[in-house]
Amino acid sequence: MPVRPLPALVTSVLALTLTALPLAGAASARPASPSSPSSSSCSTQAIEAASPHGPDVKALCAALAGLPDKDATAALIRVGGKGSWHGVAGVRDMRTGAPALENARFRAGSTTKIVTSALVLQLAAEGRISLDGTVQQYLPGLLTKDFAPITVRQLLNFTSGLQPGASLGEDVDDGYAHRFETLTPEEVVAASVAKGPDPDHAPGEHQRYGNIHYTVLGMLIEKVTGDSYAHQAAVRIVRPLGMRHTSFPTGPDPRVHGPHNRGYDWIDGRLVDVTEWNMSDRFAAGDMISTTADLERLLFALFRGRVVPEPQLKEMFTVPDVDGATMSAGLELYELDGREIWGKTGARPGYHTVVAATRDLSRTVVYSVNSTDAKGDGLAIAQRFAFPAFNR
């Protein structure tokens, strides 16, 4: 299917604007009239009144200034804990130039894994599964006899040794032509199983991040509960926490329902609308749709023990004793300016998400950035939009 770039008039405006932007190292694409950060949060008075013990409001406002640009078309940021701050900038739609919506829904990508991990740990707390139980026990026949026993805990902390499964495209350029196709969890896992076990590491010996671990966990949740993953997520987490704008796609539905900012990506040198995309190949590893307010609600409830009880909650803050490991059950440990930060990133075409906090919730950040390279490594986006929340 051919790439559908923005209309020629829009791309011409973008191209003409590039010459007027003194950005070092790369050209920038933006409409003739870039939107400003929300005036209430980034006014001179708001910046001057910001607490020295709160987030670095000046740096956060600088991150939002000038959107849209070559790296992002919109950004929504929520900072909480000791000192709260909200900011929004950019456009809802590059064709119309309408301003970005602060309450916009977006593809939350791999932050879905937080929900999946929490569901598994709830089932463990209820005694319906054991974290030391195996895939072979709970999903008999899924793996061949070539595989050593793989425990639920090893799936949770990415040390299962399963190789990547089938995908409709690992990057936006490859996946765009397949964006309306369907790939079931069973097909994803079957492709992984066909590759055999990790030839270099037994289960539990090596941490390798990947969607395959959480695709299997989603299947395990459905098998143990006799219910769909999406419904279990809704009745156990989404509804009890009042996450009213969080949902999961129905089958292969490629749309983001409700108010949302459109997502874009550079494909073959052109800025292309990638909002509509079938997420069936991501399933429990990354198909959630949410808002920054809902994810902030999840973050606070989870860290306070309202979602997963002790001692199972400890699994989410325990990195396995494996060389080079940084990930726990659904979260990842970072160190920033001497602070330990627990969080998770998520990336789908046109949307980059971060959920992060100190363990004591003294500082939290949730953002959705309409990144034009959302499937890149994401570090530059996080450094720009998330790191300032932890500057002080």
Give the catalytic positions in this structure. 110
- Residue 297 one-letter amino acid: R
> Is beta strand 363-371 parallel, antiparallel or unpaired with respect to 351-358?
antiparallel
Q: Which helix (H) or strand (E) holds 172?
A: helix 172-175
Compute φ and ψ for 53, nearest 5 degrees. -100, -5
| Cα separation, 248 vs 251, whole angstroms | 9
Q: Of 10, 42, 74, which Cα lies nearest the Cα of 370?
A: 74
Helix, strand, coil in percent for the chain, rounding step 5: 35, 20, 50
In 3D, which of 334, 322, 113, 308 has the Cα closest to residue 212? 113
The angle, 0 to 180 degrees and rounded to 10, between the axes of the packed helices 185-195 and 211-225 is 120
Indicate the pairing of strand 106-107 with strand 339-348.
unpaired
Please tell me the distance from the alpha carbon of residue 355 to that of residue 366, in angstroms, as a whole number: 5
Half-sphere exposure (CA, 13 Å, Cβ side) for 239?
A: 7
Answer for the pair 183, 135: CB distance below 8 angstroms, yes or no: no
C-alpha to C-alpha distance for 76 and 88, rounded to whole angstroms: 5
- Nearest-5° angle of CA 356, CA 360, CA 362? 70
Residue 13's identity, in one-letter code, is V
C-alpha dihedral sign at 201, 207, 211, 213: positive
